[in-house]
Amino acid sequence: MKIKIIIYSSISIIILLIFSTIFAIINMGNQKTIKGIKIQEKEISDLTQEELKNKIEEWKEELITREIKLRYKENEERINLQEINTKIDIEKAITDIYKIGRQGNIIQNNYEIIYTMIFGKNIEIQIDIDENKLDKKIEEISKKLPGAVEQSNYYIEDTNLIIKKGKEGIEINKEELVKKIKQEIQQNSKQEIIIPIKKVKPKEIDIEEIHQEIYKQVQNAYIKKDPIQVQPHINGVDFAITKEEAKNIIKEEKEEYIIPLKITIPEKTIEELGKEAFPSKLSEFTTMYNINNTNRSINLELASQKINGTVILPNEIFSYNKIVGERTIKEGYKESTEYSGGKIVKGVGGGICQLSSTLYNAVIYANLEIINRANHIFTTSYVEEGRDATVSWGTIDFQFLNTRTYPIKIVSTVKNGVVKVEIYGIEEEKEYEISIQTDIIEVIPNTVNYIEDKQLEKGIEIEEQKGFPGVKSVTYKIKKYNGIFISKEILSNDSYKPLEKIVRRGVSKRK
């Protein structure tokens, strides 16, 4: 009996070996992917290397052009995967896929091939993203959330440093959201992500850090030639009191702190250098405003006066909030309509986002680098979708970096219904032609909210709030040199909510 078992076992082993050898020989000549392989649940069986490459290219294109949808309560945000430089190593992916059933001995390869044919194998390709760009996008979204934490901020007004204390609020739990986004990209499930948030207190006011940022030694303006070198004047800035005295001031429980400054004016200013320092207009942009809206006009004029004449050195960051300062009644700002909390409301300084938006466009045309910019919650009337830049004291700032070789100067005017921002400087050896293109991805219809009004007769309707649809857009910066296309990069992916139309409808009977 034992001999029979041994014989049968030996025959079985021989048959298995023969089968395995034949199976292996057949598959050795197979130049296609084995059956049962998938990428992100998409079939890639029985493909040549060229067919596989084309398939992965298609899948890559579909992946990197998709969006990650985020939601917090009524707020919807999107992250386009192109925005965060999503990349896939296609050659490595092809190599890894072709290794399946080809990298072990005969038995291992046969087992892997048969197992894959029967049960299938889903390949997860490594997808890389630019984490710095993702962090920046998350930070931008976090500042736009209702109830966002207000960080302490400061600005210089005449000979005083005004420090505004921040307010507790919410911010995105970045680590958790990044984890969810990476998981969603890898799985490609196209599920909406609920934004994880946490309640936080503003950072403590750091007098040492603020002093380091504002301190400047007085510097005369000058210009040199061969090679050209322009040095704008720099006002000397320092605390007029000791740092210890400044630290004692902020120990008090107040919303605003005033630190006196010592300002030293240089002997020679940039104005004395004349047009030689800023001979060329690098860019300009204009928007229109309603001169009959007095309060809005005043707000625009005040903000314009603040940024007009500002000189930004190479590698220096311009901050709209730090230059313009807080918008208060004390500073002369008036109440006007603005977007806040998803509604159109009255707010002090309302309307100055038109100036920041006008500046934003001029900055793009001057080929400068945008550091911080956020879109409004609703579309605006003065610029197209994707071309606005909202600002809010303590939360949302508009910032850009002077990436040019020489200093630049902002010239801003608000007059006769026109907001104009011009940027002057010295032309580079290579000046690019910049254009902006916005593509509308989706239009979201708005709703009509009818409110019954007993004070109105039946049949009478009064429009209380004009509504308009929401929009999703992608905005590109296109660069050319001597008419030849150089690049096309995404400036932003923006979502604008629809604004409901509110109509009061009469219900009372006529007397």
Terminus-to-terminus CA distance in the chain, angstroms?
113
Residue 216 forms beta bridges with which residues?
237
Tell whether the torsion through CA atoms of 331, 335, 338 and 341 is positive or negative.
Answer: positive
Q: What is the DSSP string of 285-297?
A: EEEE--TT-HHHH
Give me the pLDDT at residue 47, please.
75
Q: In terms of residues, how long is the chain?
A: 511
- Alpha-carbon distances, residue 141 vs 137, 168, 177, 290 (angstroms): 6, 17, 12, 31
Question: What CATH homologous superfamily does 439-473+489-511 map to?
Answer: Resuscitation-promoting factor rpfb. (2.20.230.10)
Distance CA 400, CA 405 (A): 15
- Alpha-carbon distances, residue 380 vs 288, 302, 347 (angstroms): 12, 21, 16
CB 184 within 8 A of CB 191: yes
**Angle between helix 2-28 and helix 106-119 axes, rounded to 10 deg:** 80
> Which of 378, 353, 368, 511 is CA-nearest to residue 444?
378
Domains of the chain, residue spans: 2-64+90-125, 278-431, 439-473+489-511
Give me the pLDDT at residue 248, please.
93
The sheet with strand 399-401 has its strands ordered as 317-319, 399-401, 369-372
Give me the pLDDT at residue 42, please.
73
Per-residue pLDDT of 169-182, as tens digits, reads 999 999 999 999 88
- In 307-432 the beta strands, taken as DSSP E runs, fall at 311-312, 317-319, 335-340, 343-348, 369-372, 399-401, 408-415, 418-425
The SS3 call for residue 94 is helix
Q: Flag residues of the chain having pLDDT under 50.
A: none
> Which of 151, 134, 206 is CA-nearest to residue 393?
151
Q: What is the DSSP letter of 31?
A: -
Question: pTM for the full model?
Answer: 0.76
Give me the pLDDT at residue 371, please.
93
Give me the pLDDT at residue 140, please.
86
